[in-house]
Every structure is written in structure tokens, then in C-alpha cells.
Amino acid sequence: MAATSEPFRIGLLGHGTVGAAFETLVAERAGAVAATVGQRPEISGVLTRSRGDFDEILEGSDLIVELIGGIEPAREYVLRAMRAGRHVVSANKQLLSQYGEELWAVARENEVQLRFEGAVAGVVPVIRVLQESLAAAHVERIHGIVNGTTNYILSEMARAGISYEQALLQAQELGYAEADPTDDVTGRDAAAKMAILARLAFSTPVHLDQVVYEGIEHITADDMAYADELGLGLKLIGTAERVDGGISVRVHPAFLYGEHPLATVNGPFNAVTVESDAITEITMSGPGAGGPQTASAVLGDVISAMIPPASTPETTQALPVVGDVVSAFYLHMEVADRPGVLAQIAEILGMQGASIKSFVQRGLGDNARLVMVLHPLLESRLYAAVRMIGQLDFMRAAPRAIRVIDEEFS
């Protein structure tokens, strides 16, 4: 590639955890980038709440990197940059999962690139793989561990037998969880990332509001211990899949058998499994967040933007979002230990078409528990059974149901 003495000017919006790491990385890697693409990147202006002027930064840049986060003013700046003919790189999952269609349309109209690898799974190159390497594959399903905070908490609960509250505190002390961990532990952060992945995998608009999500706050150390006996480990799993001519995108805690490619992903790591007839299954994993890691994904996007062209997602026909899907379940019941208990539970499960795959019974008297894994059934039927079982007079607490990903991997 022909070298030019003109620098490639990057206007940097946001100078926090990722923005500051990005500035450092650009300074460190500028020479190597210049050797590869023929132009030396440099930060031509920085905007924070107390520093810089957006119009001046825009004027003096070839590309804008948005690392402010949230919706406004990030959305306005990204739109204005693209309308002014600038490529944009962002790591903002909230913005893309809620305003992606608008932003991609403006990118197409203005023939600029909008790149966002850092928005999902940190440095794991899943966006690029879906947009480029697997562009011709008919993706059937994606499973992802796309939130490192919750994966760390669940891994520690399983490893050390500690409670959710203890594991969360530990995650905060180590910097894996924010002081306000709500977005992470409720599944909302993962839901935003799954909306973006589903959009790319199925070429259909997917808004964050269409993603059903459930968090990990109600998971007990007890559930983890019982599941361990049944050969299961718990993860917060994002799923995006084709179902009955539509799609389903959801995030919820789910048990996995040991052979599943995501079962061994522990600590603050992320991993995404893509399934398609053509490729069978591929799994990508790596650090899910962190300033330097995300900055590396952002710089990768900047370099890609320096070498044109890359495709921007096309608008396509919307696929219906399917609400009720089939899943296997783990069911945990605290019962009074007396004759006929199992028969009554089995009868209700049978009425709803549920059949038992494996089963553990523990304790006596007031301490009796029945823990089972059910073969896949429609979620609505499982929850109908759970409501009915919950009303039986020998139940000492509401039954707990957690999904199980029951796929064969060899």
C-alpha cells in the first residue's frame, strides 16, 4: 500500500476506561499501523464533559471514535459525524441495540462505515466473523456468554460454594463489577449484545425491547450444588435462534452439560457459539471487557475503516419474534417428605407433556428436596406445571425452574 505522510486523524469522543486506553494504544501502535496500511493514525482531538468542542473535533478528523456510552449525546454525535462523511467506530451496545437501524441507514446513505466490534464480547471478534467470514452461512443459532461480570459471579459461586451476594462483592472488589451492577446482573447488558448479534446473524431488525431477559440475582448456591450432582454447570446464556419461521432472542440463566463448548468458559471471560448447517458449530472466546482489551477491538475497527470498504447491514424484511419456545428445564422442589409426593408431581408434569430425564432426591422430613432435569418442552407448559405444583399442600417453597441447554456436542 502506498504510504502517505498525512496522518489519519481520529476524533475521540470520551476519555474514560476505554477512551484513555485507546489513546495510549494508538500512541503505542501508530508505527505498526502505518507500516501495514500506509498511514499513521493520531488522535486529533478529545471530547469529554469538560474538554474539547465537538464541531472543532469533527472538522479536524477523518474518523470519529465514540466511547462516551449511553444514548444521548452519543447518538447525536454519531449521526452528525456520519452525515459529515466521517466513518465512525463505537463500542456502545446500548446505542446500537436501540438505534441501530437508524444509524445503519444513515451510514448507508452517506456511504461511510459504522463499525462496532467492541460493543459485543470485548476483544472476541464475533461481529467481524458474523459480518464477513460467515456472511454466506445460514446461521441457525447463537449461544453466548456475553457478560463477563455475571460469568465471574456464577463461576465463583460454583467453585467456592459462596452465595450470590458474596460473589458479587468479590467481583466489585476485583473491578469485574460496577458499584451499580444492575445492568449486568439483571441480564440487560447481555440482552443489548444479543440484540446486536441477532440483527447481524438473521439480517432482521432486532430492538433491545424485543429481547426477553432474566438475571442471576435469584440463583442460590444450593441450585449450583444440586446441579453439579446432575453433571450441570450454570451460566448466563444469551440465545438467538430461528424458531418456526421467526426468531427468538433471549437471555437467562441456563444449565449446561460438561460437553457444551460454553461449559468450560469461566471467570470474566466471554464466548460465543455460532451454529449453522454449513459450518456445524464454531466457538470464539476471550476477555469480555476491560479498557485495554476493548481499546484493541476499537483500534482493529479503525484499521479496517482505513482500508475500505466493508459492508453495513442492509435493511431487510422483519422476521416475527417468537415468544414461546422449547427448552429443557432443571426443577428444584422443597417438599414435605411423605408418601405420594413424587406421584402427584409426576402426574402434573405428565399432564403438561413433561418427562423426566434425570432425578436426585435428598434429605428427609422437613429437609426433603426433589431435583430433576426435564426433557425439552414448551416453556408455557413448563410454567403451567410449575404453577400447579406450587399449589400442592406438601410444597414448602415455590418450585425453582432454570433452563437447561440440552444439546448434543461430541
Q: Which is nearer to ligand NAP, 265 or 331 (CB)?
A: 265
Catalytically annotated residue among 93, 193, 235, 357:
193
Sole binder of ligand NAP in the list 73, 231, 267, 300 (CB under 6 A):
73
The answer to whether residue 185 forms part of the interface with ligand NAP (CB under 6 A) is no
- 13 to 32: interface string for ligand NAP, x by CB under 6 A: -xxxxxx-------------
Place of cell 468458559: 265
Count the neighbouring beta carbons within 10 Å of the beta carbon of residue 188: 18
The residue count for the chain: 410
Comparison of 41 and 148: residue with beta carbon closer to ligand NAP: 148
* 68 CB-near residues (< 8 Å, 6+ apart): 13, 14, 47, 74, 77, 92
Binding pattern for the stretch 230-249 against ligand NAP, x by CB under 6 A and - elsewhere: --------------------
Strand-pair partners of 232? 257
The interface with ligand NAP within residues 29-58 (CB under 6 A) comprises 47-50
Q: What's the min distance (Å) between Cβ of 270 and ligand NAP?
A: 10
Q: What is the Cα–Cα distance from 115 to 99, expressed in whole angstroms?
A: 14
Residue type at 236? Answer: L
Q: Is 357 a catalytic residue?
A: no
Burial class (CB in 10 A: 0-12, 13-18, 19+), 394: middle
Which residue has its beta carbon closest to ligand NAP? 16
Tell me the number of residues near ligand NAP by CB under 6 A. 23
User: CB–CB of 145/151 below 8 Å?
Assistant: yes
Between 251 and 290, how does the x/- string for binding to ligand NAP read (CB under 6 A)? --------------------------------------xx
CB of 297 to ligand NAP, least distance (A): 8
Nearest-angstrom CA–CA distance, 252 and 186: 9
Closest separation in Å from C-beta 177 to ligand NAP: 11
Out of 68, 126, 274, 385, name the contact with ligand NAP by CB under 6 A.
Answer: 68
> Looking at this protein, which amino acid is placed at residue 202?
F
Neighbours of 201 (CB within 10 A): 28
Q: Is 127 in the site for ligand NAP (CB under 6 A)?
A: no
β-bridge partners, 257: 232
Nearer to ligand NAP, 67 or 208 (CB): 67
Which of residues 82 and 247 has its CB atom nearest to ligand NAP in the complex? 82
DSSP string of 17-58, one letter each residue: HHHHHHHHHHHHHHHHHHHHHSS-EEEEEEE-SSS--HHHHH
Q: Does 124 bind ligand NAP (CB under 6 A)?
A: no
User: Shortest gap between Cβ of 56 and ligand NAP (angstroms)?
Assistant: 13
Between CA 165 and CA 217 the distance in angstroms is: 8
The candidate with the shortest Cα–Cα distance to 244, out of 318, 325, 316, is 325
CB of 99 to ligand NAP, least distance (A): 13
Per-residue burial over 152-171, b if 16 or more Cβ lie within 10 Å, else e, is bbbbbbbeeebebeebbebb
* d(C-alpha 405, C-alpha 234), whole Å: 10
**Smallest separation, CB 200 to ligand NAP (Å):** 17
Contacts with ligand NAP in 75-114 (CB under 6 A)? Answer: 91-93
Residues making contact with ligand NAP (CB under 6 A): 14-19, 47-50, 67-69, 73, 91-93, 118, 122, 289-291, 294
Q: Supply the residues annotated as catalytic.
A: 193
